[in-house]
Structures are given as C-alpha cells and as structure tokens.
C-alpha cells in the first residue's frame, strides 16, 4: 500500500519585518542577514494568534466535509504549546468541527516532531487503511529583541493530510536517523525564549545531515544524482545550503535548493513546519520536476535529532497544490516598522490565555483570520 502526503498547505500571520531594516536599526551590515543568513523577511505574530489559530488557518485550506468525516487521528507537532497538559489538536476539534470518535495528541521534540508525526501517521494508516490523518506543524520562533537569534525568528503553520494513495508524495520506508543528548538549543519550562548555543547548533545540524544522508546513500546504494531535490529544515536558508555543499556539488540539487528556500527566506524559521515549507516551496516554484522523482528530506530538531527520509512525486501532484493561495497570503501581508514590531513583541498577550477567547473564524477568500473577544 502506498501512503503519503495527500494534501498540504501553510499559513503565516499577516505581519512581517524587512531584515535589512532590522539590521540597520541594530547597527549591523544588512548583508549579514540577507547574504550571511540568507533571509529577507520575518513573519511576525499578531496579538490575537497562537500556534492553535495558526494551525486552524492552515488546516482550513485543505479540509472539506468528506475529509472531516474520514480523519480519525490528529497529530499536532509544536514547541510553542499553549497548554502543559491538553493537546493543541483538541482545541482544533471545535474550531474545525472535527469528529469526536477521533484521537488527538500533541508531539514534542523541537523541530523534529513533525517528521516523526508523518511517520506515526503512516504506521496508523498501515493498520487502518481507510483512515486519514491530519498532521499539524505549528510554531512561533522567538529569541528576543536584540538577541543573536533575532534575525532567525518566524511564525507559521503547516497542515497535511496523510492517506493511502496520496495525491502529492508517496513516503518511502527508508529513514536513517541519529539522536544525541546535545544542549545546542532548549527552552526549560516557563522560559519565554530558548537558551541557544548558536555555533554548536549549526555544527550539530551539519554533522547530523552528513551522518544521516551518508547512511541513507550507503543503505540504499544510491548517489546524489539519484535525487531530484533535497528539502531541509531551514532555520535560515544559508544553513541547509552549507550542509548540502558540504557533501555534494551536484548542480541539479544546488539549483533546486534555490526553489526550496523561496518561501522560507520570506517567512523565517517556523520550527516544526520549516521542513514542509521547503517541500511546498520546491513543488510550487520549480516547474521542471517529474512524476516519480525522488525527493530527500532532512529533518532536524535541537536537543538533538536528525533524520533523512525520502518520498516519490505522484503524477499530477501539481493539481493538488495551493500555489495561488500561498502567494496571495505573502503578497497581502503588512510590513511593520522595527518600532511597531518591538511594541508588538513586548506586549504579546499570554498565549496560554488568549486561545480560549477565539470566538469565530471569518473566512474571507484567501484571507482567513481569527478575532478575539
Ligand atoms: P551570529 O553568531 O550573530 O552570526 O548568529 P555569525 O557571526 O555566525 O554570522 C552569520 C553568517 O553571516 C556567517 O556566515 C558570517 O560570515 C556571515 P558563515 O561564515 O557561517 O558562512 N556574515 C556576513 N555575510 C555577508 N556580509 C556581512 C556579514 N557578516 C557576517 N557583512 C546564529 C547566527 C545562527 C548563531 C544566530 O542567528 C542564532 O543563534 N540563531 C538561532 C539558532 C539557530 O537558528 N541555529 C540553527 C541550527 S539549530 C536548528 O536548526 C534548530 C532550531 O530550528 C530549533 C529547533 O529544533 O527547535 C533552531
């Protein structure tokens, strides 16, 4: 039985800042952010949103009544949780009218938990072939104003439906993985922002890519030119590129990396969703991919886990993408000045409280938003 991604969409909040403007205000050469890190803009969360509302907006783009009746498992991957106990996915039940005879859980291991979520979804479908699984990856990446991590912030959510006979990508059974107890990035309970060892984090990321990708190629007896493209978790777009170039100079992969980073460089790090933002970007922006092309995926979560897995493109996958919605979402965002961003950042409502105030979704074509009491 073939199992994989049947539907996929992302949602980002409607505010952003220009990183060149942030650099100027911070007294830094803008090229450090735009060239050194490879980022243009950062998505900024609105006061009325959290990881649940971001997730609901993403899921709205791919759900319909029939699907809602078929989904019997909702997996919510996040490290921006609104509750220490209750799963973020349960809040989605009432917002999205999901079934009650359905399982709802939340998964955590930094940015990696979305990768294991699609693996769990696949295993669930193997024993329940007619079920559909809703996988959410939703996060708000915050490091603090004036911090080293500030240019690598971001916010957004991915929603995916995993099913048999998928329309977009068939997942293979070939993952290679590594986990080491590394303190590169972690956020102890009640800390608003993570404790980060930036250098250790980038070194561990590249080392884990090298280890898992080489193991994959050895196990499968494949070479880099067997891939049509490789998608990366992208905390900033320069890092995936550095990891890729550390192992191969394959031209096709370098070109396709440019397509895969198209949305990330305009949004920033969305943690659990970042890897899947990269595949959406590749599929929507590259017009030269072919059915059955092999796509590699490198998932990374600080702490630290690395995983390399692959999928094959399904013929006609282009007809199941949301390109015009995604492009409109990015084009209609509002730019904040750095002062407006700082004010918003310093006056965020406690995310553990405000999600319960959500009263309804006002669905305007290509512009779904939440309103609070
Ligand atoms: P930094 O230490 O201030 O930056 O912050 P830097 O000094 O390393 O410079 C960055 C790059 O810009 C360097 O490029 C500079 O040379 C270049 P490199 O040498 O590495 O190729 N540069 C310039 N380029 C052009 N013109 C200039 C210029 N100046 C410098 N004028 C750091 C960078 C990433 C450490 C910081 O932003 C940070 O701490 N970010 C948060 C942590 C992070 O994103 N780590 C990534 C790996 S960990 C991960 O992916 C997991 C994560 O998503 C969390 C999770 O799993 O949950 C974060």
**pLDDT tens-digit readout, 127-142:** 999 999 999 999 999 9
Q: Report the half-sphere exposure of 188 (CA within 13 A, side-chain side).
A: 2
Tens-place pLDDT, residues 330-339: 999 999 999 9
Whether the pLDDT of residue 53 is over 50: the answer is yes
Q: How far is the CA of 11 from the centre of ligand 1 (A)?
A: 25
Q: What pLDDT, on the 0 to 100 scale, is given for residue 353?
A: 52
Delimit the domains of the chain by residue range.
3-168+319-371, 170-318
Which atom of ligand 1 is least distant from the CA of 236?
44
Q: What confidence category does residue 364 fall into, taking pLDDT thresholds of 50, 70 and 90?
A: very low
pLDDT at residue 232 in the model = 98
How wide is the angle at C-alpha 240 spanned by C-alphas 238 and 242, nearest 5°?
A: 65
Q: Say whether pLDDT at 300 is over 80.
A: yes
Q: Quick one: fold of 170-318? A: Peroxisomal Thiolase; Chain A, domain 1 (3.40.47)
pLDDT band at 349 (very low <50, low <70, confident <90, very high): low
Same fold flag, 3-168+319-371 and 170-318: yes
pLDDT for residue 360: 36
Nearest CA residue ID for atom 54, ligand 1: 302
Please state, rounded to an integer, the average pLDDT across all residues of the chain. Answer: 93
Convert the pLDDT of each residue in 235-252 to its tens digit: 999 999 999 999 999 999
Residue nearest ligand 1's atom 8 by CA: 199
Specify the CATH architecture of the domain 3-168+319-371. Answer: 3-Layer(aba) Sandwich (3.40)
Say if residue 69's pLDDT is above 60. Answer: yes
The band of 260, judged by pLDDT with boundaries at 50, 70 and 90, is very high
233 is catalytic: yes
- How far apart are the CA of 72 and the centre of ligand 1, in A? 40
Residue-level pLDDT at 207: 98
**Residues framing ligand 1 (Cβ under 6 A):** 29, 31-32, 35-37, 79, 110-111, 148-149, 151-152, 184-185, 196, 198, 201-202, 205, 233, 235-236, 239, 269, 271, 300-302
Higher-confidence residue: 367 or 310?
310
> Which member of 233, 284, 326, 355 is catalytic?
233
């Amino acid at each position: 039985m073939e199992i994989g991604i049947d539907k996929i969409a992302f949602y980002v909040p409607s505010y952003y800042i220009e990183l060149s403007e942030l650099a100027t205000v911070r007294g830094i050469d803008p090229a450090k952010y735009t060239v050194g890190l490879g980022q243009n803009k950062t998505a900024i969360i609105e006061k009325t949103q959290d990881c649940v509302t971001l997730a609901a907006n993403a899921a709205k783009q791919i759900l319909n009544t029939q699907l809602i009746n078929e989904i019997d498992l909702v997996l919510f991957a996040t490290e921006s949780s609104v509750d220490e106990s209750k799963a973020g996915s349960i809040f989605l039940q009432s917002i999205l009218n999901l079934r009650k005879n359905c399982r709802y859980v939340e998964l955590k291991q930094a940015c990696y938990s979305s990768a294991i979520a699609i693996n769990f979804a696949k295993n669930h479908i193997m024993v329940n072939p007619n079920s559909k699984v809703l996988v959410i990856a939703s996060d708000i990446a915050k490091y603090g104003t004036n911090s080293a991590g500030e240019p690598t912030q971001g916010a957004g959510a991915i929603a995916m439906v995993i099913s048999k006979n998928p329309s977009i990508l068939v997942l293979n059974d070939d993952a290679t993985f590594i986990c080491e107890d590394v303190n590169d990035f972690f956020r102890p309970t009640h800390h608003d922002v993570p404790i980060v060892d930036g250098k250790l984090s980038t070194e561990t990321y590249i080392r884990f890519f090298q280890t898992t990708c080489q193991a994959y190629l050895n196990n499968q007896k494949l070479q880099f030119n067997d891939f049509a493209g490789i998608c990366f978790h992208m905390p900033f777009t320069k890092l995936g590129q550095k990891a890729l170039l550390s192992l191969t100079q394959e031209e096709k992969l370098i070109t396709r990396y440019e397509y895969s980073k198209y949305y990330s460089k305009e949004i920033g790090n969305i943690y659990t969703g970042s890897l899947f933002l990269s595949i959406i970007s590749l599929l929507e922006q590259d017009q030269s991919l072919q059915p059955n092309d092999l796509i590699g995926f490198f998932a990374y979560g600080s702490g630290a886990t690395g995983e390399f897995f692959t999928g094959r493109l399904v013929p006609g996958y282009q007809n199941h993408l949301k390109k015009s919605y995604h492009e409109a979402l990015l084009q209609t965002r509002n730019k904040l000045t750095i002062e407006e961003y700082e004010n918003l950042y310093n006056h965020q409502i406690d995310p553990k409280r405000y999600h319960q105030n959500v009263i309804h979704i006002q669905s305007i074509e290509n512009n779904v938003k939440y309103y609070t009491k």
